[in-house]
Each structure stands twice: as C-alpha cells, then as structure tokens.
A and B are shown apart, each in its own frame.
Chain A
Amino acid sequence: DADVTQTPRNRITKTGKRIMLECSQTKGHDRMYWYRQDPGLGLRLIYYSFDVKDINKGEISDGYSVSRQAQAKFSLSLESAIPNQTALYFCATSDLDQAQHFGDGTRLSIL
C-alpha cells in the first residue's frame, strides 16, 4: 500500500462547484503539505501543516482552504472552483528536516 494516498486520482468538474481533495498517510509524519503543479512552473506550495493544530498559508493559498482532521489526514478544498485552478495537485509529508514523500497526485480539470 502507498505511504501517501490521494483521492480522487482524477476529477472533472464545473466552475463554481465545491471540491475536496483528500490525503492520508501511514508514515507517522507530523508535517503535511499541499502543492499544485503547472507545466513550466514546478511545484508551488498552497498550504502546510506542522501538526494537527497548526495550519499555514503557502505562496498561493487564495481560493483554497484546508483541514487537518488527524495526524494522518489533510484535506484541500476549493470552495468555488474556477478554470485557472485546473492543475495537478500533490500532497506530501515529512519529518522536520527530512525529505518530503509525495502521493501520486490528483489531476483536476475545471470546465
């Protein structure tokens, strides 16, 4: 089983819809992250959480929100999706200064 699991893997939806992307991990890490990947732009940090009670905005948090339901679960929500949020979304986990471990991603298309 994968250490970092993202659901769904693919999603197509319409402008204005509310969408939730989920991430769960079995690595026991305190730190969790959400990124979006766009061609030619690399990965950009949306939100991150260093423990269950800690939530922080990343460089591109506008239009997104998150929930850390437990150490193992970190969800990303788009309250009212817009087409320029079409992207590949990744969840990652880490221990303090160690390397981050990534899920397989969610490909999100907003029409």
Chain B
Amino acid sequence: AQSVTQLGSHVSVSEGALVLLRCNYSSSVPPYLFWYVQYPNQGLQLLLKYTSAATLVKGINGFEAEFKKSETSFHLTKPSAHMSDAAEYFCAVSDQGSNYKLTFGKGTLLTVNP
C-alpha cells in the first residue's frame, strides 16, 4: 500500500525567503509523484509531477521538486517566496499497483509574511 507523509501542517516564511515543503512517500513499486496547490475557495491545481524521467522536476510558478529514491522523498522548493504563493500544498503518490489512483498527504499550509 502506498502512503504519503507531509512534515509540517503549517510552514511560515518571509517574502523572498526559500520555500521548502517536505514530502516522504512509501510505495512498493516505482512511484509517480505529484505536488498540487490549492488557493482559497478553489480546486487543486497541478504544480508538477515526477513520472520516472528526470529526478529534478520543474513546475509552474518557479517551483521545483527532486525525487530521491534512497530517501523516499519528493520535497518541494522555491528559491524566493512571493506573497501570491500563500496556499495549501498537497503531495500525492500513485503507482501501477494501485492502478494509478492517487493517495494524498494531509497538506501543508504555506503562509508568506511581508
């Protein structure tokens, strides 16, 4: 069975600071990994995905994530936070064993302070 752990339900950074949101997964077969963002009163929007190609994945809005198999991690980073990055972020995993159904982490709320 697959699972996702997001460390830190709430992360607060200053505008211009590095954003680091942590995600660890478990999967018995090679995983597909995703980061989604949810702005208030909206649905989930795909930020980026890893599907067994390059381990460093670049997404929208300047975000990127690196797949580290040895650490079973897929942490999300952005070099410089903007006020508009304030949102909730979800990490998710799927694999062939689950017939590509997604399992989500519980989410991390990112606050950006001026």
Contacts and interface: CB of A to CB of B under 8 A. Distances in A.
A82 interface: no
B106 A40 contact: yes
Interface string B36-51: 1000011111100101
Contact of B49 (A33, A42, A99, A105): A99
A103 B43 contact: yes
Interface of A: 4, 33, 40-45, 48, 50, 58, 90, 92, 94, 96-97, 99-105
Interface of B: 9, 32, 34, 36, 41-46, 49, 51, 90, 94, 96, 99-102, 104-107
Contacts of B51: 97
Contacts of A96: 100
B106 A42 contact: yes
B43 A42 contact: no
25 contacts: A40-B9, A40-B107, A42-B104, A42-B105, A42-B106, A42-B107, A43-B102, A45-B101, A45-B102, A90-B44, A92-B44, A94-B100, A96-B100, A97-B32, A97-B51, A97-B96, A97-B100, A99-B34, A102-B36, A102-B44, A102-B45, A104-B41, A104-B42, A104-B43, A105-B42
B43 A90 contact: yes
A33 to B, nearest CB: 8
Nearest to B105: A42
Contacts of A90: 43-44
Given A94-B100, A97-B51, A99-B34, A41 B106 contact: yes
B61 to A, nearest CB: 16
Contacts of A102: 36, 43-45
